[in-house]
Structure 1
Amino acid sequence: MNQTPTATQLRNDLVDHLLMQTVIPNPDVEHALRTVPREMFLPGIDLKDAYTDQAVTIKENPNGPLALSCASVPSVVAMMLAQLDVQPGDNILEIGAGTGYNAALLAELTGDLGKVTSIDIDPDVTLHARTMLNRTGYERVQVMERDGLIGAPENAPYDRMLAAVGLWDVPTAWWDQLRDGGRLVLPLRWRGQTRSVALTRRGDSLVSDNMQLCGFVPIIGQDGERTAALNEADTIRVHYDEDQAVDVDALTASLSGTPSIEALSEQRIGGEESFDGVWLRATANDDRVCRLEATPNALEQDLIIRPAIPGRSPLLVDGGSLAYLIVRREGADAQRPFRLGAAAYGPQAADLAQDLITHIEAWGKARTATPCLTITPAKTAPATEGHVISKPEGQLTLAY
């Protein structure tokens, strides 16, 4: 007779799975994940679901498709904690309280001599986090209802700062709250893609040493990304940053009125092989990089050549022309049966497709390479050489 697994068994099974995926390189993070009862922070959720490697929504958004708050995917939680590199006795600020689970993990990592402050702008979220932390014995975590863009200066300076919400820019207020030599880990968005970036403060610079693909609920109060429909039915969309010049009308006309072209690179991939590095590589030297979104309706009606990932594919835009990433099965290579390429529309379609192919080929020469990202306050001279992306509060410099 099969026995129903206990919460402890399910928790250990999940951690064992994450260890096999090598997302927990730190034994302290492993201990915290085996110790903190995630199910206690998710009341009403089936026990098995609490220990599945998936996000759990705790507050829906009535005005959009993304939740207002959720419990992050455990593998992403583990990855970001490893990036943060918490030390015993650290003073930590968490932006985005969520369920309170992540703050409990931080409390385990920093220990009784450390301090954890968790803030969130939503009173329902902070109440939930406070209640769950009290129930699980983590009363020492301080939970505050606060705008994450302001931080919590009264408990600064912090040794570690962790954002559990997506950021488009680094708030100016955070600079005075992170000590020199301290670490900041945040899901940072630029040119349509999001990376969890681990940064160390070095004077007036934040310098990365690790970045991983991720996706997070965006912080309330930052609105630097724009979205525009490229057809009347609003089933094909372009997402772009406010500093990018995008001629929506010209792109719409090209999609509906010009023939498409396709071009393939020499780069092959396997069925489970990641190619998101193409996007990252392109952002390091090309200001035309955006994101293309094609809904299932657009694909069913053959309104557009199928993008590599319909909901989020890298896109180059230039005037009334666009080119985006595609994947094609070609050849007899059983290990890598797919080739990466470009589909393009508009008067400069051929040139733009070739530019995207150039980015693909550059990625193919060093597929796991990531750039160094240096962030400095806005309107200051770049701290290092590289490709600069200017935002209202911070200046990003990318260099391979």
Structure 2
Amino acid sequence: MATDNDVEGVAALRASMVRELRDQGAIQSELVAAAFTAVPRHLFTPGEPLKVAYATDNAPIVKRDDNGLTLSSVSAPHLQATMLEAAEIKPGMRVCEVGSGGYNAALLAELVGDGGHVTTVDIDPDIVERARTLLNEAGYHHVNVLQADAEEGVPNAAPFDRIIVTAGSWDIPPAWIDQLAHDGRIVVPLRLKGTTRWIAFDRDSEGGLVSRSYGLCVFVPFQGSGSHTERNVTIDNGVVLRLDDENLKEDAEALRRALHLPRIERWSGAAFDMPDELMLFLLTNDPNMAMLHADQEAIDHGLLARPPLKGVPALISGDSFAYRAARPNDDMGSGYESGVYAHGPSAEDLAARYVELLRQWADKYHRRGAASIQYIPKPATPPAPSSGVITKRHGTVVVTWP
């Protein structure tokens, strides 16, 4: 078993991590592979066993609050590699990282090389001190580590060719766009209707942003003046609607009554596949969609079927709701068929609407990256409220399916 002083053993673990990330498709370029090969990840995860430190899906928690909620973590290598590939960082670039930890900043330093510059900023003084200490110990003395509320960006170090955000952000502050170079790119984990997608945005010709790529992810929420709290509406013990859309209204008591009525099930005849892409399609193609969550006890008691255990899009209408289901079906290429469970007086109508969306997805958009995501900052005239239009504090997100 390798130890911290076993140079060859640690290098072998790092090489094995890089090979696995290549096999997973997370690493695609030689530049990113070289960065992951060079940076000693274990130095940024003190206390973790070496094999755990170099596991591609391991995200060690760095700090929790008094209630046990995670305030900071070191992201898993698979996610870091995926986002760095999306960023397409080149030697000589100026890069700002929002949300420090140390390891990702070291990767950025390797990518930009001696001719580039990396600034990493965090609001938490403990995290800033930790990042500064670990970066120095690992030999990355030239990374600029700052404590600040990143809502205002880092104007003294701007403009940036790339901005990489490593905390879940509900919105995109104007400062980030202002401090982005004309041909710059920002990669940000953006909260959209109760879920988070990392999105690689480029500037468009009208001062906004347009997506190049995106993917499902989970990040610690943004702190400071840019933070945002979702509404959690309890329907019953262990059954919660998670809402971040102020325009969506719900009647918790009516939905509770619906929950205890017998459910109906309807099947689409379409394959169930790519649940993350299907989730984005459902959430952005009906304004009455929200995320439904249930704990294991609620499922064991038969209140809901299994899908809400990890969260599932639910179509809400007054005293009724419907959510996505799946069942084995050997006639489907994926081996599963998509369908709907629905509760309440309007269950039939909601199920029919939901099934139609499932069929649309299967017929037209059954592929990765089918959506186009645009960010329109204020004071530009926002589009009229409709499916796929998500209003934020500083602007509007528009998700279309060309």
Give the structure-1-normalised TM-score.
Answer: 0.92
Q: 2:250: which partner in 1?
A: 246
Q: 1:290: which partner in 2?
A: 290
In 2, the alpha carbon distance for the partners of 1:358 and 1:179 equals 43
Deviation at 1:386, TM superposition (A): 8.3
Q: 2:303: which partner in 1?
A: 303
Unaligned residue ranges in structure 1 (runs of 5+): none
Q: Tell me, yes or no, if the aligned pair for 1:375 and 1:395 is still in contact at 8 Å.
A: yes
Deviation at 1:264, TM superposition (A): 1.2
Q: 2:317: which partner in 1?
A: 318
The aligned amino acid for 1:190 is L
In 1, the alpha carbon distance for the partners of 2:310 and 2:275 equals 15
CA gap 1:348/1:64 in 2 versus in 1, 3 angstroms: farther
Correspondence list, 1:133-144, <5 A = 133-144=135-146
In 1, the alpha carbon distance for the partners of 2:184 and 2:383 equals 18
In 1, the alpha carbon distance for the partners of 2:130 and 2:145 equals 10
In 1, the alpha carbon distance for the partners of 2:217 and 2:105 equals 19
Correspondence list, 1:73-84, <5 A = 73-84=76-87
Q: 1:378: which partner in 2?
A: 378
| Aligned mate of 2:67, from 47, 63, 72 | 63
Q: Which moved more, 1:381-390 or 1:128-137?
A: 381-390
Correspondence list, 1:116-265, <5 A = 116-202=118-204, 203-221=206-224, 222-231=227-236, 233=237, 235-243=238-246, 244-256=248-260, 258-265=261-268
Q: What are the Cα deviations for residues 152-195 of structure 1, in whole angstroms up to 9, with x where unaligned? A: 11111111001000011111222221122210001111112211
In 1, the alpha carbon distance for the partners of 2:255 and 2:355 equals 20
Deviation at 1:3, TM superposition (A): 7.9
Q: 1:109: which partner in 2?
A: 111
| Aligned mate of 1:359, from 357, 360, 364 | 357
Q: Which moved more, 1:214-223 or 1:11-20?
A: 214-223
Q: Tell me, yes or no, if the aligned pair for 2:382 and 2:395 is still in contact at 8 Å.
A: no
CA gap 1:382/1:135 in 2 versus in 1, 3 angstroms: same
Q: Tell me, yes or no, if the aligned pair for 1:267 and 1:340 is still in contact at 8 Å.
A: yes
Q: 2:34: which partner in 1?
A: 31
In 2, the alpha carbon distance for the partners of 1:64 and 1:288 equals 32
Q: What are the Cα deviations for residues 342-389 of structure 1, in whole angstroms up to 9, with x where unaligned? A: 111122211112222122212212321421111011342258998422
Figure out how many residues of one structure are paired with residues of the other and give that number.
389
SS in 2 for 1:310: helix
Deviation at 1:282, TM superposition (A): 2.0
Q: 2:16: which partner in 1?
A: 13
Q: 2:91: which partner in 1?
A: 88
In 2, the alpha carbon distance for the partners of 1:85 and 1:220 equals 27
In 1, the alpha carbon distance for the partners of 2:346 and 2:2 equals 64
CA gap 1:386/1:301 in 2 versus in 1, 3 angstroms: closer
Q: Tell me, yes or no, if the aligned pair for 2:271 and 2:332 is still in contact at 8 Å.
A: no
Q: Tell me, yes or no, if the aligned pair for 1:185 and 1:196 is still in contact at 8 Å.
A: yes
Q: Which moved more, 1:212-221 or 1:373-382?
A: 373-382
In 2, the alpha carbon distance for the partners of 1:86 and 1:106 equals 8
Q: What are the Cα deviations for residues 123-142 of structure 1, in whole angstroms up to 9, with x where unaligned? A: 11111110000001111111
In 2, the alpha carbon distance for the partners of 1:354 and 1:191 equals 22
Q: Does 1:274 align with 2:279?
A: no
Q: 1:48: which partner in 2?
A: 51
SS in 2 for 1:380: coil
In 2, the alpha carbon distance for the partners of 1:181 and 1:249 equals 51
In 2, the alpha carbon distance for the partners of 1:391 and 1:380 equals 13
Q: Which contiguous aligned blocks of 4+ residues in structure 1 show a shift greater than 4 angstroms?
A: 2-5, 382-386
Deviation at 1:115, TM superposition (A): 0.8
The aligned amino acid for 1:225 is E
In 2, the alpha carbon distance for the partners of 1:378 and 1:251 equals 36
Deviation at 1:248, TM superposition (A): 2.0
Q: Which moved more, 1:182-191 or 1:2-11?
A: 2-11
Give 1 or 2: higher helix fraction.
Answer: 2
In 1, the alpha carbon distance for the partners of 2:130 and 2:30 equals 29
SS in 2 for 1:181: strand
Q: Does 1:337 align with 2:335?
A: yes
In 1, the alpha carbon distance for the partners of 2:81 and 2:397 equals 26
Identity of aligned residues (%): 37
In 1, the alpha carbon distance for the partners of 2:52 and 2:295 equals 28
In 2, the alpha carbon distance for the partners of 1:87 and 1:75 equals 20
Root mean square deviation, CA, Å: 2.0
The aligned amino acid for 1:278 is L
In 2, the alpha carbon distance for the partners of 1:335 and 1:371 equals 23
Q: What are the Cα deviations for residues 292-343 of structure 1, in whole angstroms up to 9, with x where unaligned? A: 1110111122122332x5121111112222111112124x448533211111
In 2, the alpha carbon distance for the partners of 1:381 and 1:162 equals 27
Q: Tell me, yes or no, if the aligned pair for 1:267 and 1:361 is still in contact at 8 Å.
A: yes
CA gap 1:280/1:376 in 2 versus in 1, 3 angstroms: same
SS in 1 for 2:393: coil
